């Protein structure tokens, strides 16, 4: 069953360019990961330091494999250094 993963990240001020580059790297790698369907990155209109990434995966197992991917984790560590607080991850399924 397909799922949506919603990741919220609150960025430190002045780190927008670095984050954009790292998110692009993640997206390019995710696009070739088994089970990846689509993704989008959004920036809050009211809070420009809040970013949301929404990705769609064929299954929870596909997402978990990607979540544990060492290359993904290396990029995620770099992203974590740019954040004010830990990212929040939520997983939804279609009804």
Per-residue pLDDT of the chain (95 residues; tens, 9 = 90+): 999 999 999 999 999 999 999 999 999 999 999 999 999 999 999 999 999 999 999 999 999 999 999 999 999 999 999 999 999 999 999 99
Q: How many CA atoms lie within 13 A of 65 on its CB side?
A: 13
**pLDDT tens digit string along 41-50?**
999 999 999 9
pLDDT of residue 70: 98
* Token pair in block for residue 89: 């991850």
Of 30, 49, 26, 47, nearest in space to 38 by CA: 30
* Cα 7 to chain centroid, rounded: 5
For the chain, the domain total comes to 1
User: Which CATH number is 85's domain given?
Assistant: 3.30.70.100
**Predicted pLDDT of residue 61:** 98
Residues of the chain by 3-state class (helix, strand, coil), percent to 5: 35, 35, 30
Instruction: Find the domain containing 79 and state its range.
Output: 3-93
């Amino acid at each position: 069953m397909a799922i949506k993963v919603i990741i919220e990240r609150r960025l430190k001020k002045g780190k927008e360019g670095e984050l954009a580059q790292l998110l692009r790297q993640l997206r390019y790698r995710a696009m070739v990961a088994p089970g990846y369907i689509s993704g989008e990155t959004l920036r809050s209109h009211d809070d420009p330091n809040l970013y949301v990434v929404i990705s769609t995966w064929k299954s929870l197992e596909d997402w978990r494999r990607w979540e544990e991917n060492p290359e993904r984790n290396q990029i995620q560590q770099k992203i974590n250094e740019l954040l004010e607080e830990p990212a929040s991850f939520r997983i939804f399924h279609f009804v």
